Structure 1
Amino acid sequence: MRILGIDPGLRRTGFGIIDVSGSSLGYVASGTIVVPTELSLGERLKVILDNVRDVAAQHSPDEASIEQVFVNANPHSTLLLGQARGAAICALADSNLPVHEYTALQVKKTVVGRGHADKEQVQAMVQHLLRLNGAPAADAADALACAICHAHHLPLSAQLAQSGHVTFSGLRVRAGRVLR
């Protein structure tokens, strides 16, 4: 299975593609979409949309994962980040990819082992897990980490699907009934 991970941003959007075979992870590609800041908001969102769509077309992933927006002290920044994320999700949906969402805390906990890891720790673990010669750039590392997070959640998702259980916001549900 091939997974495309996205770390959305209005100035820099990271992407990372990995192949998953059982418990084995393989690096395919990664990079950063640099969005010119002199463009209007609409033009910047189009740059993200077009480039994420191009990455998906070039690498033919089976699924995609993206970081959820966190609410920070500046609501305006949060709104802009949400718009960048929306442009990326639209590109993924337009590419007919199932999109899975993870919080930054989930991604860091899965990849590093603790949810409050710093960027350098994420970069080092991504380098180690994918057996890279050097640390990827910060935005690309975050996107690769998002893809790795999804790869680690795949077996659980498959088990839940086979058992007829699905999760919604942390609740397990079977045939419309909430299970405790």
Structure 2
Amino acid sequence: MSNLPDWRDRMLRAVWWHGEQLPEEVRTWMAELYGERGEISESEFCDSWTARTFSMARSAFETVTRSAEQDTGKATTGDDYDYISYTRDPDQGPVGVVRIKSAEVSTPDAAEVLCAVAEGVQEFVMSHHRVTWPVCGEHGRGLHVDYVHETPVWTCTGGSTDGHVVRAIDPAVQA
């Protein structure tokens, strides 16, 4: 039986995580998973990783589409709209991928998932409704996804500085 760091290293290799810094949230989740279930197999770990990512994406999708619909008055969900998919293709890798238009994510990190979902919903609103969303009230420009202190935010490149944060992507979070 190995210890948590050894198990975590093996599991990260199993999900093809190579040399990138692991977000603290994912490290904590892995430690909790190890504490609850012990040394689960690589396939069980990949299943847990994928399930967590998909669950986060569904939650982020609800948050972002609600915000887009409130801001634009345009529908972003419903029977006519199919632009988010959850796939797991063993030929593409050991874990599943969430695709929202051309954005995709396969890491169970809430900030990364929220950013990918926001970019995908933004792309959908712009391509389907021909509406720029979201827009900076001060400069009238479309906003971009970014991070400030690990918080996913909408930023504007307008103004005399290098831009500014307009708001958090999740309206429940203060940026």
TM-score by length of 1: 0.27
Q: Where is the strand percentage greater, Structure 1 or Structure 2?
A: 1
When Rg is computed on C-alpha atoms for both structures, the one with the higher figure is 2
Higher relative contact order (CA 8 A, sep 6+): 1
